[in-house]
Structure 1
Amino acid sequence: MMHAQQQISLSMNVQKSLRGSIFAASIWNDLDFETRIAILRRWAKSLDKLSAMMVNFQCTNAQEMVATPHVMPGPTGESNTLYCVGRGVVVVTANDDVANHVVIAQIAAALVCGNSVMLCLSPDHPLKAGVILSQLAQAGAIANVLTVIESHDFEPLIQSEAVVAVAYSGSADRALDIGRQLAAREGQLAQLVAETDVVNLPIIGSQSYCLRFITERTRTINITAVGGNATLLELGCGEAS
């Protein structure tokens, strides 16, 4: 829950958008990776060639690295399954000189892993957010899995504990500034996923980029219970870095 100070600083529209994004994340995260990947690949068909390549690249990496659950035998005979899910609400932002396909890659990586995205760009950025919203809806994405926020709402928004991560592309100085803001906020820590080399993209272009947007969970089924009763226990096992 947001602190009273955060609620005051956020406009009513942004509060409403944040609530919608939280709800969308829970529904989107319940879809399996295959379903999310299929939706995003359909979205890619409506994008320019470079942006489409970025979406498909992120989908392929997620499919190979985090989509498959891993069964781990337990010492007492129980069944343990390790699997990956999204972390929640991710804010995506970028400097005005960052190319569209870089921002698209950030959005795709967060979405394919089961998060919702709140996109926060200045009016001078060339990416047409309204077009992206329409394209995702036509591809079958659920409502509010992507929402658009005005740039002046960025700083109060990232103070909300509901925001689990900020994906940023741009200058190192701006990345440092965002990192300090996240470190200074109260409550749950939020991760900064920053790409400061917006030409070579060593972070976004890495196969492991998707790991920044997931958390691991373990599902344990006790198959040795007396009388054959099985108990189900699901635990969060921390966040992947």
Structure 2
Amino acid sequence: MNTQIKTLVSNSLASWENWNALGYEQRTRILTVWANSLDEDCKKMVTFQCFNAQEHLGETLLMPGPTGETNELYSAGRGTIAVTADDDTSAVAIVGQLTAALVNGNCVILCLSANSMVQAGNIINQLTLAGCPLHVVQTVEHEQLTALITNTSISGVAFAGQSAIALRLARQLAERDGLLAQLIAETDCIKLPVIGSPTYSMRFITERTRTINITAVGGNATLLELGSGEEH
């Protein structure tokens, strides 16, 4: 196994639980501080993604249940998302992918071309200054993309670029063993109909249910917590 990728993924998964547990409000606060270091278009994209995530996913919903039991439905991050793009993809598109992944509780490994690695490094520095914890966002060279997305601990791949590359990535993910990973692809990097959708955030989460028996000894005993995605 590629040692560098293994280390990156291991660091990411070690950071994921705490980042996911921060909740939408605190993650949005960190990303909003980060947005202030970006140009106006990128700042608007961060605000757009954070608002839509809060609007559609930030609330825990109370579900029907028998007397003495509460059932809650809420969303959580999938785990580690690989974010990648063609060399000529705009910074706004990349920032949109990154924000949607992060605000919904995922860690990210940015895999960009050599020409974009300086930008990626700047992004990490700015996020760190904004309060983003260590290893929540990491980078790797584009030459390592195949090794990255074929690592079975990667929960999803967000890509912006040509349709032919999106198709190739989809095939690589389909051929993987282990955890099913979703491809979240934007192939119109001018109009951004996918990244610009108000429901884009929903592609980065898993739904979970939590059942609490409120009559148990001690008052609030959590009995069961289930998710539609695999936890790490």
Check the 8 A contact 1:133/1:146 in 2, yes or no.
yes
Partner of 1:37: 28
Separation in 2, partners of 1:157, 1:169: 16
Moved over 4 A (4+): 227-230
| Match of residue 42, structure 2, among 41, 46, 51 | 51
RMSD over aligned CA atoms reads 1.5
State the match for 2:111 in structure 1.
120
Report whether the alignment pairs 1:146 with 2:137. yes
Q: Structure 2: how far apart are the matches of 1:189 and 1:141?
A: 27
Cα distance, 1:18 vs structure 2: 1.3
Q: Which residue of the partner structure matches residue 209 of structure 2?
A: 218
Hey, what does 2:156 align to over in structure 1?
165
Q: Which residue of 2 aligns with 1:4?
A: none
Residue 126 of structure 1, CA deviation: 7.6
Partner of 1:3: none
Between the aligned partners of 1:126 and 1:159, the Cα distance in structure 2 is 21
Superposed CA deviations along residues 99-148 of structure 1, whole A, max 9, x for unmatched, are 01100110000000000000000112386111111100000000011000
Report the AA paired with residue 82 of structure 1.
L
User: 1:23 maps to what in 2?
Assistant: 14
Residue-pair matches, total? 229
Name the amino acid aligned to 1:140: G
In structure 1, the partner of 2:102 is 111
**TM-score normalized with structure 1 length:** 0.91
Post-superposition offset of 1:222: 1.2
Q: 1:54 & 1:229 partners in 2: Cα distance? A: 44
Which residue is equivalent to 2:188?
Answer: 197
Q: Which runs of 5+ in 1 are unaligned?
A: 1-6
Greater displacement, 70-79 / 113-122: 70-79
Give, in angstroms, the shift of residue 202 of structure 1. Answer: 0.9
Q: Which residue of 1 aligns with 2:120?
A: 129
Q: Which amino acid aligns with 2:223?
A: L
Read off the aligned partner of 2:45 and give its amino acid letter.
M
- Match of 1:180? 171
Aligned pair partner of 1:231 in 210, 221, 224: 221
Partner of 2:198: 207
Query: Which residue pairs with 2:66 in the alignment?
Result: 75
User: Aligned equivalents of 2:169 and 2:131: distance in 1?
Assistant: 32
